[in-house]
Amino acid sequence: MIDISSTPWQTMVAHAEATYPNECCGVMLGSIDGDSKSVTIATPLENVSAGSQTARYQLRPEDLLHADREARRLKLDLIGIYHSHPDCDAYFSETDLKNSCPWYSFVVLSVQNGKFHHANSWLPNAEQTASEKEELIWPKS
């Protein structure tokens, strides 16, 4: 289960809507207790995918390195990655799966007509052949 607090959730939704019709991406920091993950900080990162970004995103590895260092400095954990799907559902696509990493939660935000619509969290396997839906809790108000 991954529970996202109000402040990081607002950051993620605002980022996804501001980036529309392109895909956005970023990292989520927080704490982990067994299978229970609590996100307290969301940090938008640059989508460095070459070409059109309406259906693609790519994170710069150096940005992930710096995010991990920031998490260590704050005594937090790098829990997961978020990105948006403009004008489509929050599924974990073949492209997402083939370019994923099994270590993190992947939260996908569906943005439809420029507004947040719904979200899901996914856990890809080590072989990048399948992903499992993870319970996602976000502030509904």
Partner 1 sequence: MAKVLIPTPLRQYVDKKDVVEASGASVAEVLTGVVTAHPSLKKQIYSDEGKLRSFVNVYVNDEDIRYLDKEKTAVTDADTLSIVPSIAGGR
Helix, strand or coil, per DSSP, at residue 140: coil
Tokens of 93: 């696509």
Least CB distance to partner 1 at residue 127 (A)? 9
Least CB distance to partner 1 at residue 125 (A)? 12
Least CB distance to partner 1 at residue 131 (A)? 11
Least CB distance to partner 1 at residue 49 (A)? 7
Contact (CB, 8 A) for 106 and 91? no
What's phi and psi for 46, nearest 5 deg?
A: -75, 135
CA distances from 47 to 19, 76, 122, 135 (A): 10, 24, 20, 26
Q: Where on the chain is the footprint of partner 1 (CB under 8 A)?
A: 23, 32, 49, 55-59, 61-62, 64-65, 68, 71-72, 77-79, 81, 83, 85-86, 88, 91, 93, 95-97, 99-104, 106, 126, 128
Q: Which is nearer to partner 1, 62 or 140 (CB)?
A: 62
